[in-house]
Structure 1
Amino acid sequence: MTGPECSVPEALARMLAACPPLPAETVPLAAGLGRVLAAPVVARQTQPPFAASMMDGWAVRAADVAGAGPDAPVTLRRIGEAAAGHGFAGTVGPGEAVRIFTGAPIPPGADAVVMQEDCRDDGATVRIGRAVGPGRFVRPSGHDFGAGDAVLPAGRRLTSRDVALAAGADVPWLSVHRRPRVAVLATGDEIRLPGEPPAPGRIVSSNAFGLCALVESQGGVALNLGVAPDSAADLAERAAAAAGTDLLVTAGGTAEGDRDFVRSLPGARTPLVDGVAMRPARRLLFAAAGGSRLLALPGNPVSALVAAVLFLRPMLRVLQGLPHEPGPRRFARLDGRLPAGGGRADFPRAALSVDAAGELVVTPLPRQDVALTSAIAAADALIVRPPDAAAAEPGTPVEIIPLAGGCLKL
């Protein structure tokens, strides 16, 4: 190791400091889902742009029907009709009414709508059987928002509801942060791709596929560079394909053995982070120089994915203009016992459930081996155990990091 291990917070702070938000780009509204706004969405029109009827019924002057009731209906002269998209061109005067439908503009002169259930129409006149006050069943212009209003703030990841709001604001284009481009490279002579013929001493590559999926789930664009053999020249050749990306993530080769060559990559000789006081994934490295970034993760699948949750996921967030934390710290009641910790932070994998009282419960998985892809797939959360943590008994509230959740919130 070239220096002392960082704590987890210190390592994360160093990484995030090297990841300012990416520049803005303009995309069509239809491509906005999951993107992060680089500028507010400002309404280009008032919504609704006119006073509109909330009901099917009759547009009237409230003063004309002030004394109406079921047993004493008021008769008004029918002068026309207003439908959605087809307003009434005239003006409603004393003793007059206009047949109106939901969403239609309120005709000039009218100030209320009587529901059709309270009216009887004979073609030439309508009998109004209920009194209404001014504004009844009228949705005023600007009831939702006005032209010039900032309807969505910068720094917001867009949901489908947000896209609908932007469309209603008559905004066809969005200014969003560019999606982070992340190259992922697995290393090791023993690694083969899924579907390739088995061979003695070789195992299937899972890291690159899992890391690429995590990148995509967090709003990034993943480029799988395949597998680099245990050779400094081959590793450098494969890594060169990451040119133009925002981050190169490698898996494996982070130790200092004779067949570990990640440290030979450009920038890796002077890393910002070289080892983190945590388990799993103690042997990781982060370097940033000349606009390129390298996050070198351990090769064990659980170690790689835990480190990706703790460091890669926050980096992807800040590159897109989001705060590195998705929300407030989360806690759950421990179901089981955790022994006292050592000098490093620990992140046991765990399952989440909800008890009969509706309380969130976290249960450590029985198998914590860092090579078990089945165990990390079964986990719903990581339990956060700080360095030198005391033993935790059943029922103790413990901090958790949920593993679920990507950028495509509806």
Structure 2
Amino acid sequence: MTLTQITREKAVKRLMERVRPSRVVELPPSRAVGLAAAADMLAGVSVPEQAVSLRDGYALAARDSAQASDAAPAVLAIRGEIHAETRSSEPLEPGTAVRILTGGPLPSGADCVVAEEDVREQSGSLILTAPLRPGWFTSGPGADIGAHDLILAKGGSVTPQAAAVLARTRTPLVSVHEPPAVRILAVGSELAPPDQAGPGRIPADNLVLASGLAARTGAVVESAIPVRDDPDALMRELVREPAPALIITSGGTGRSERDFTANAAMRAGFEPLFQGVAMRPGKSVFAGMRNTTLMVSLPGPPGAVFACMHALVLPVLRGMAGFAPSSPLRVELADSLYAKPGLEWLVPCAVRLENARLTASPLIGRNVPVLLSLSRANAILPLAPGTALAPGDSAPALSPLFYS
């Protein structure tokens, strides 16, 4: 089957049309951190749930201080003490006050708190020399969060802070998507598992690279192994059960006698989606689908894997994980760039925050070795053919570190 090379935008569209978010599960907020919300997450109760004190001091009814002055202080008998953990307390009788600590619930009959440093206690009584206002040093029910307030919208990432707020509002379970399973295969008889490479064998660095990038989008890597240059060996890995949501391969996408990945995939039952994308690196990328499993075959050079993961694979993984689509960053170029006519150029760059602006330094050129630039890159700049950019110009950048 002959497939025509397509643009990156069309390639992503074809992949995303076949993406289905992973299964929805119910988890406590503490176990949902990093996962995608499968529904809007709402506060379970108001915070605070009842009026509480904002200071260490004394709770009382403001009306009991209405006539207080230096010449004629109000004297209120102190009855008991309330802590933050106090479950219930006796109603406050007129003409009395109760010792209360920060976070303590106001008793019935009290509507304000006077800070301990603003009054004096004498012989078990509170001496007030100025009137107080209702609400003084108190926080009413729902002052921080109202019951059913939106904490996190569907498709958002459950952050530690969102999970903490959900837990505080007594939300027992939240609906989230399970992490999608990914299988990663590095094709090449010269490759060995990264921690087992000896003389004559090359560490399969693409397994480390692709696994790390996949994990940053919320995926779980079920296996990451090298596969020798044998179509049958590759086919066995492609159809091995249980089938993952996505298979990523690197190597074997060129035109030599050992570049058999696409043919092996089709023999294994993968229906081709495209073979060839109008971008560099990555013009030989193949994608297919078998039942519910997507497969994307990337070139072998690590720089190409890094670029193609950002350009094609990471949006797919985010969709499978249930995250809402994310727009590219807008960055300011630190150096000039020119993309020659022909194919879209995926430029590795280092994005950083400087003076409240995101700046991107391209990692290319004769003085920047490929592997060294890869170690410093955290984003990709996709440049259309013939694009010329000067320092200070704005451009889109793709990076899992800055998803919105």
Give 1:127-166 correspondences, 5 Å limit: 127-166=127-166
Deviates more, 1:366-375 or 1:267-276: 366-375
Aligned equivalent of 2:89? 89
Q: Which of 371, 374, 391 matches 1:373?
A: 371
Q: CA deviation at 1:379?
A: 1.6
3-state SS of 2:272 partner: coil
Aligned equivalent of 2:220? 221
Between the aligned partners of 2:365 and 2:222, the Cα distance in structure 1 is: 32
1:23–1:93: structure 2 CA closer, same or farther, 3 Å change rule? same
3-state SS of 1:219 partner: coil
Aligned equivalent of 2:41? 41
1:366–1:340: structure 2 CA closer, same or farther, 3 Å change rule? closer
1:245–1:142: structure 2 CA closer, same or farther, 3 Å change rule? same
Between the aligned partners of 2:70 and 2:307, the Cα distance in structure 1 is: 70
Aligned equivalent of 2:15? 15
Between the aligned partners of 1:344 and 1:268, the Cα distance in structure 2 is: 30
Aligned equivalent of 2:249? 250
3-state SS of 1:58 partner: strand
Deviates more, 1:38-47 or 1:171-180: 38-47
Aligned equivalent of 2:279? 278
Alignment pair present for 1:324 and 2:325: yes
Aligned equivalent of 1:401? 398
Deviates more, 1:36-45 or 1:263-272: 263-272
TM-score by length of 1: 0.90
Give 1:9-408 correspondences, 5 Å limit: 9-69=9-69, 73-86=73-86, 89-200=89-200, 202-241=201-240, 243-263=242-262, 264-266=264-266, 270-325=271-326, 327=327, 329-332=329-332, 334-353=333-352, 358-367=356-365, 372-389=370-387, 391-402=388-399, 404-405=401-402
Deviates more, 1:244-253 or 1:357-366: 357-366
Between the aligned partners of 1:136 and 1:165, the Cα distance in structure 2 is: 26
Q: CA deviation at 1:25?
A: 1.2
Between the aligned partners of 1:103 and 1:171, the Cα distance in structure 2 is: 21
Deviates more, 1:283-292 or 1:73-82: 73-82
Contact 1:315–1:324 under 8 Å retained in 2: no
Between the aligned partners of 2:195 and 2:160, the Cα distance in structure 1 is: 37
Q: CA deviation at 1:221?
A: 0.3
1:195–1:179: structure 2 CA closer, same or farther, 3 Å change rule? closer
Q: CA deviation at 1:370?
A: 11
Deviates more, 1:395-404 or 1:218-227: 395-404
1:293–1:127: structure 2 CA closer, same or farther, 3 Å change rule? same
TM-score by length of 2: 0.91
C-alpha RMSD of matched pairs (Å): 2.6
3-state SS of 1:316 partner: helix
**Superposed CA offset, 1:248-277 (max 9, x none):** 111111124321221212467641121110
**Superposed CA offset, 1:64-94 (max 9, x none):** 2134356753221222222222256333233
3-state SS of 1:347 partner: strand
Contact 2:331–2:397 under 8 Å retained in 1: yes
1:369–1:293: structure 2 CA closer, same or farther, 3 Å change rule? farther
3-state SS of 1:30 partner: helix
Between the aligned partners of 1:370 and 1:257, the Cα distance in structure 2 is: 28
Structure 2: gaps of 5 or more residues:
none
Deviates more, 1:369-378 or 1:257-266: 369-378
3-state SS of 1:362 partner: strand
Contact 1:181–1:246 under 8 Å retained in 2: yes
Count of aligned residue pairs for this structure pair? 402
Q: Which amino acid aligns with 1:311?
A: L
Identity, in percent, stands at: 29
Q: CA deviation at 1:57?
A: 0.9
Between the aligned partners of 1:147 and 1:338, the Cα distance in structure 2 is: 52
Between the aligned partners of 2:119 and 2:300, the Cα distance in structure 1 is: 75
Q: CA deviation at 1:128?
A: 1.7
Q: Which amino acid aligns with 1:190?
A: E
Contact 1:225–1:241 under 8 Å retained in 2: no
1:20–1:137: structure 2 CA closer, same or farther, 3 Å change rule? same
1:331–1:268: structure 2 CA closer, same or farther, 3 Å change rule? farther
3-state SS of 1:212 partner: helix
Contact 1:80–1:88 under 8 Å retained in 2: no
Deviates more, 1:19-28 or 1:149-158: 149-158
Deviates more, 1:312-321 or 1:144-153: 144-153
Q: CA deviation at 1:10?
A: 0.8
Between the aligned partners of 2:323 and 2:117, the Cα distance in structure 1 is: 51
